[in-house]
Structure 1
Amino acid sequence: MEITKKNFSEQLENITKNLKRSCFVGFDAEFTAILSGDCFKYRLFDTNKERYDLIKDEVSKMIMTQVGLTMFQYDRDHDSYIAVGYTFHLCPQVVADIDQMFIFQASTLKFLCRYNFNFNKFIYDGLPYLSKVEEAHIRQQLKDKTLVGSLIHALTMEDERKLQKYCSEVSKWLTGKDEETMYLDIECPIMRYIVHNEIRQRFTDVLTTDSLGNSNKVLIYRDKYVEGANSAPMAILEDNLMSCLLGFSQIIDLLATHQKPIIGHNNFLDLVLLHNQFIGPLPKKYCTFKKNINSLFPIIFDTKYISHEMRKRLTFDEVWKSNALQDLYEFFSEGKCKKLESGVNFIKLSTPFNVKQSYHEAGWDSYCSGYCFIRMSHWAACDNSGKYRPVGPSEKLAALAPYCNKVNVIRGAIPFMNLVDVDPPRHRPELLHIKSMKERIINVGKITSVLAGLGSIDVKPYGKKTALIAASTQYTADKILNQFQNDREYRISPFNVIKHTPAGRMAIWGSALLTGSLLLFLLHRRVTK
């Protein structure tokens, strides 16, 4: 189901109920930009901290335009799952002195157009949101009684004219008509809040309240002491305003409150964006970022990382085509996994998607992530017990517990980000050191081209005539060393800190000088005796 600001309020209760009933939640997001260019190229040299430092400033300019959530509910009687999928359309907002900004890359626009992204829903119907930092700022202004002034100050000339028009209508009604009540139909929640405050200030004898039957209507009573009327304290109006401003952030709060396991696919970048958009500006320290995410969502599974680990249990002929979400989903949904021929849970979408047009649509991808999680966790649980049989959600989660809070890192020196502990040590082969024997300045592009046929590698300069090589596997590293063992143009050897760093060489020379000086001193003493 698609959720926009048109149906969010009426669906919020159902969304909450479905979330409470779920045993885990599939998650996916679509962005306004894709990190591209040489400066954002993922390299085998990168540690997770370096990767985070590389992208955090650029990611702060990006936003999620869609968030997909699929809530998987277990039916114990039929040993099956009902999947309730939602696609939330989001759009930044302007409120008081907060003016949310983002970039939209042309390449991303082209990509989204290819997958039929609806830009009208994004712009006209997208849900607002506030980060925790922005929410705290607005609430402080409410407490200080300065928010109304900030909101009025930020009004456009057109909105100022609308405000004056509403006040004029109230004035005419008070002086020329006998009706005890009147309505003002105001769609914008910010304008609605301003009108409440302005009318109460200008016309001290009236009572204003939000109409219970229509959230867009401001109900005005001629007599503020009228019997049976809701007193509409300002606190209620402020709560109504905050609910409207928070929008999708209320869903993030629900996820955090109920702490359902979150299932994503390759969600390193999703989590970085999620922090920036819903928690606050990305912290300088990578460890602080991890701590903040884990505090919000303490149970996260990444099906990309799990699939990398699980494929090690299969032979070459049995394994899926690639670890891309679409290939992984089709492998399991088409029954190609020989490990899952019996005892598999039936999974049904409560509202079917159009598969041919739905990939890279956040709701569908969130369903695919959860689907793959159910299949891999079933396989893992049966492997652990030694037989293939029905497996419930608790046992599924327990079977994949070793992969919990471990998020895949694309083409880096470290295989995953550990959200609850120190990241694992480097898993790539030791770096190689290359020295040009003929060139005055080493040509990194030429080296990359020469080595490309030997396997996946990255090369970076390390001085005028030297560079470092990172290989994806030990097989590739050994192949490079063997190939260039007697090469006259390049000398390649395993990188040695003492031998190949200036500090190491200085230490060697310093040690040699010290040893030589000591020997000369001892020799001199012996001669002079």
Structure 2
Amino acid sequence: MLKRLSRELYRFLRQSNNYLSRRKKEKIKMDVTKRNFDEGLLNQIREEVDSCSFVSFDCEFSGIHAESNVCSLDSLSERYEKTIRPSITQFIVFQFGLSIFSPGSISGTLKNRSYNFHVWQGSSVPSMDVRFLCQSSSIDFLAGQNFDFNKLFKEGISYIRLSDASRLKQNLIEKQNTKLDYPSSIAIPEQQEDFLKDIHQRIQKYISDDKEEEAPLELPSCNGFQRKLIYQTVRETFGQEVYLETNKKRLLLVNKLRSREKNQQLELEEFDKILGFSKIVRIISESKKPLVGHNMMLDLCFTINQFVAPLPETYEEFKTLAHKMFPEVYDTKVMANIGPVKEHVLNSTLEDLVAKLKESPFKIPKLESKDDAYAESGLYHEAGFDAYITGLCFLGMKDYLIRQMSSSEDKSKIVLPYSNKIAVMRINDVPYLNLDGDDIFPDRSHVFYVTFPSLWKTTDLNSLFSSFGNVQISWLSDTSAYVSLYQKNLAGSVMDSLNCSSVYSLTPYDKHKNGNVPSSITPLLEKSDIFNTSNLSSPTNNTKKRAVSPNGTPDASLKRSKSKPEAPSTLNIFPESSTWD
């Protein structure tokens, strides 16, 4: 009996602790839905952003990868135009996390407030009935993180693109200006007189009621011709006492016309509600404050495409638009993989990075935060929490870089070399793209485009190039691949030695691409004192048989591996990336 009571007591205490733990996490969630997304909250966020030091963000999506072949030797324009843009335009953001870091009450300190927005357009704008794809692996992943889909669909905040908003608002104003300009009168058929008499009696009774805020009067269902007659006769009989509109059921509604100006204002206010979450993006953009993300290429592209404007077709147009909207961005993955921080960081996923930055020789400055418990909640893959952790990582790495400087150096400019550099995944020799300047065009004179019989495997290509040492093979199809020499000085003899067969063909990379002239690393990073070239890694010979699909591993669909262990980096396989140590 005593043992039984002990077991029951233990079970009760364990359940109580689990319940309290869940309540604690629920309490610290800063969820924003259409229920609490009001003008007061909007003004609060605007004031916080205007006075902040920087903001960090993160997104959760309905999917990530559209079908496409990703090659480690893509150019940046190829990667954007054939892979990134097609994916972004098919999926949507479900959740947007925003973390605002502002000066604290004590000089040199910071405080933080974080927000977790659920965004869902729903049917608030019938003409913008959104269609999108869901990727099953992404949905399974979110469900595994206890993502609340019911809250998203029932309480998500509406939005429209800022580029569409100006057009729709102008259409609304034009509609208001022509609302009372009715077409010329038509004769009323005798068989419609009783119908119209009944309509007028209903309207007269509605007008006679003195309730100023009374709900609209819904008229009986009618055909198009009767609708036209109603518009005509109501104008003639009631003048500007009422105005008509159509609801979603295509029924006519009669509204008391308090004043034309007041109704115009109400319509504009209703439009402002539909603009919804996009106002947050506009606040961030107009503030020109530094925007921080982790492995943020997809987050940035999704944000622009969903809330700003359709992603441009070309890579250069994308860079122009992104830099115009967000003129100063920082990617904590770039900061972790390049420069002094890199020698201490083995894995730059978000969860591993923040854990490393809590250890020596790093330290994350303490915040005067109203949300201290958020840091201990472990709510990874909730957008608001990931945004918060991203901001902590930025502060931790910035603190470390400052401590490496001499006392005479300008500490305010320590992170400028990383400004507008965004991490690029799975391109061997281009570790980032540069939003506000020239990109890296590495020397690929040691790379050859090879075509061959479909039966060939990796071992056949290794054998073909065996006299030139170790190579890296990037498969393009069953009959073509790029082969990269590690010993670049031998590249000049490849064509003379191997280009003599009818079974396969060889073409130098630049000739195959008709491409760009190789150039060096971007000047600001190249000149920065915080970089060195002492830790080049050596490549290994890949002798494995290629995967059935060139699209990546089964883990590729997970959210940019922000908290999933990642494979060893290949950024330094080739000598042209030596500046990236």
Distance 2:114 2:445 in 1: 42
State how 1:221-232 maps to structure 2 within 5 Å: 224=258, 232=261
How far is the alpha carbon of 1:276 from its aligned partner? 1.3
2:476 to 451, 460, 476: 460
| 1:404 to 1:237, Cα distance in 2 relative to 1, 3 A | same
* Structure 1 segment 262-277 matched on structure 2, within 5 A: 262-277=291-306
Residues 276 and 476 of structure 1, relative CA distance in 2, 3 Å threshold = same
Superposition map of 1:340-489 within 5 A: 340=363, 345-351=365-371, 352-353=373-374, 355-385=376-406, 395-396=411-412, 398-412=413-427, 413-426=429-442, 430-432=446-448, 440-441=453-454, 443-444=456-457, 457-460=473-476, 467-470=481-484, 474=486
SS in 1 for 2:322: helix
Instruction: Please say if 1:58 is aligned against 2:71.
Output: no
Q: Secondary structure at the match of 2:439?
A: coil
Displacement of 1:168 in angstroms is: 10
Residues 460-509 of structure 1: CA distance to partner in whole angstroms, max 9, x if unpaired?
359x6x642258xx48999xx9xxx99xx9x99997469x9699xxxxxx
Report if aligned partners of 2:104, 2:368 keep a CA contact under 8 Å in 1.
no
Aligned-residue offset at 1:381: 1.9
Is the Cα–Cα contact under 8 Å of residues 444 and 459 in structure 1 kept in the other structure?
no
Determine whether 1:300 maps to 2:329: yes
Once the two structures are superposed, the pairs formed by residues 95-174 of structure 1 within 5 Å of their partners are 95-145=125-175, 172-174=205-207
CA deviations 1:258-287 (Å, max 9, x no partner) are 111000011111122122112222222110
Q: How far off is 1:366 after superposition?
A: 0.6
Q: Does the Cα contact within 8 Å between 1:68 and 1:363 map onto a contact in 2?
A: yes
Pair 1:180–1:73, CA change in 2 (3 A): same
Report the secondary structure of 2:367's partner residue. Answer: strand
Q: Secondary structure at the match of 2:289?
A: coil
Residue 190 of structure 2 is aligned to residue 183 of structure 1: no
Aligned 1:210-225 pairs, distance under 5 A:
224=258
Runs of 4 or more above 6 Å deviation: 146-149, 167-170, 218-222, 448-451, 475-478, 491-495, 500-503
- 1: distance between equivalents of 2:153 and 2:360? 42
What are the superposed Cα offsets for residues 397-416 of structure 1, whole Å, 9 maximum, x if unpaired?
Answer: x2010110010000114211
Q: Residues 3 and 449 of structure 1: is their aligned pair in 2 closer, same or farther, counting only changes over 3 Å?
A: farther
Tell me: CA distance 1:433–1:2, structure 2 relative to 1, closer, same or farther (3 Å): same
* Counterpart pick for 1:23 among 53, 67, 71: 53
- With 126-135 and 299-308 compared, the bigger mean Cα shift is at 126-135
Contact preservation (8 Å) 2:119, 2:158: yes
Q: 2:308 matched to which residue of 1?
A: 279
Cα contact 1:459–1:470 (8 A) shared by 2:
no
| Distance in 1 (alpha carbons) for counterparts of 2:201 and 2:110 | 57
- Counterpart CA distance in 2 for 1:428 and 1:368 is 37
Q: Distance in 2 between matches of 1:448 and 1:249?
A: 51
Task: Specify the code of the residue in structure 2 equivalent to 1:324.
Answer: T
Distance 1:338-1:180 versus aligned 2 partners, 3 A rule: closer
Shift of 1:171: 5.5
Counterpart residue type for residue 145 of structure 2: Y
**What is the TM-score with the length of structure 2 in the denominator?**
0.63
Cα distance in 1 between the residues matched to 2:488 and 2:509: 21
How far does the alpha carbon of each residue in 1:208-235 deviate from its partner, in whole angstroms, 9 at most, with x for none? Answer: 9xxxxxxxxx99879x5xxxxx875344
Instruction: Calculate the TM-score normalised by the size of structure 1.
Output: 0.69
- Give yes or no for the alignment of 1:337 onto 2:360: yes
- Contact residue 335 and residue 341 of structure 2 kept, 8 A: no
Give 2:387's aligned amino acid.
S
Secondary structure class of the residue paired with 2:116: strand
Q: Distance in 2 between matches of 1:182 and 1:428?
A: 71
Q: Is the 8 A contact 1:461 1:467 kept in 2?
A: yes
How far apart in 2 are the matches of 1:148 and 1:14?
37
Instruction: Tell me the number of residue pairs that the alignment of Structure 1 and Structure 2 aligns.
Output: 424
Q: What residue is the counterpart of 1:164 in the other structure?
A: none
Give, as a single letter, the amino acid of the residue that structure 2 aligns with 1:359: Y
Match of 1:323 among 337, 348, 351: 348
- Are 1:72 and 2:76 counterparts? no
Instruction: Give the CA deviation at 1:148.
Output: 11
The within-5 A match list for 1:502-513 is none
**What's the CA shift for 1:386?**
5.8
Structure 1 residues 360-369 or 100-109, which shifts more?
Answer: 100-109
- Which residue matches 1:162? none
- The letter for the 1-side match of 2:482 is L
Give me the whole-angstrom Cα distance separating, in 2, the residues matched to 1:289 and 1:361: 27
Q: CA deviation at 1:432?
A: 4.6
Q: Give the deviation of 1:144 after TM superposition.
A: 2.9
* 5+ residue gaps, structure 1: 150-166, 187-197, 209-217, 225-229, 504-529
**Secondary structure class of the residue paired with 1:385:** coil
Counterpart Cα distance in 2 of 1:122 and 1:205: 41
SS of corresponding position for 1:338:
coil
The Cα of 1:206 is off from its aligned counterpart by 4.4
Counterparts of 1:273 and 1:253, CA distance in 2: 15
Identity %: 24
> SS at 1:11's partner residue?
helix
Q: What amino acid maps onto 1:91 in structure 2?
A: W
Contact map agreement 1:429 1:477 (CA 8 A) in 2: no
2:354 touches 2:389 (CA, 8 Å); kept in 1?
yes
Distance in 2, Cα, partners of 1:383 & 1:91: 45
